Amino acid sequence: MSSLTFKPRPRGGNWPVVLGWLGVILLVVSVALMGAAGPAYRLEWLSLGSSFTLLRQGAHLALGAGVLGLLTFMVAGLCRRWRPALVGMLVILAVAVTIALPAQMMHLARTVPPIHDITTDMTDPPAFEALADERRAAPNAVAYPGEPTARQQRIAYPHLAPLTLDRPLARVMAAVEATAEARDWDVAETTSSRLEATATTRWFGFEDDIVIRLTETPSGVRVDMRSASRMGRSDLGTNAARIQTFLEDVAHRARQ
């Protein structure tokens, strides 16, 4: 007479496994939505507003996945189910990474001023010439916004200033051109003392226009730079950061 062997039922039933799988599925969907937001706008499948809505929805789903991951970890821990507990922990970590960028964008939106046109010379900012037509077709203006923007820039980015180099004009211009090329900017025009170019962001494909002006002074060649977004009220600090890093790289190249 054969005997039957019964396996003990896992503590907590299948709830830890079910919660873990739900968290994983929700996380995958959220990553897909957030990842598609930028390319969908660049390919003109969605408007900018719809793309941002998709991004927010993905972030909300990621937070839901994080809640499920936490529940999975807690329930599995109480039931001593270590594999589901590990899944819950991994979901929590993945959610933290997933929402890091949207969280950073929200933080910047609260901490930087709502301006999008930054320059090292607020009294006589370099003017767009070769890119003037492209900017006229865009929502943001061609001309510098004026003193209200300058006042906010002085408060938010007091470190931004022109770069003066004790080097020949041709050498400084060569450094400017090489630095722009290294950044894969779309150069619209180059002269002996000016450069105009457009930088395109990788994710959403936002276009920011740049104009660089060189002026010979008794103390050396002065480099002024202006970086302005074609659309949007706030650039989240992108243009100021671009100017700062670009001028630092130009100074390094020119002094080599």
In contact, 105 and 52? CB cutoff 8 Å? no
| C-alpha radius of gyration, the chain, whole number | 26
pLDDT beyond 50 at 1: no
Question: Regarding predicted confidence, which is higher, 150 or 106?
Answer: 150
Tell me the pLDDT of the chain averaged across its residues: 89
Predicted pLDDT at 249: 97
Q: What is the mean pLDDT of residues 138-153?
A: 93
Question: Regarding predicted confidence, which is higher, 207 or 103?
Answer: 207
Confidence bin at 42 (pLDDT 50/70/90): confident
Burial level of 89, CB count in 10 A (0-12/13-18/19+)?
middle
Confidence bin at 232 (pLDDT 50/70/90): confident
Question: Regarding predicted confidence, which is higher, 231 or 203?
Answer: 231
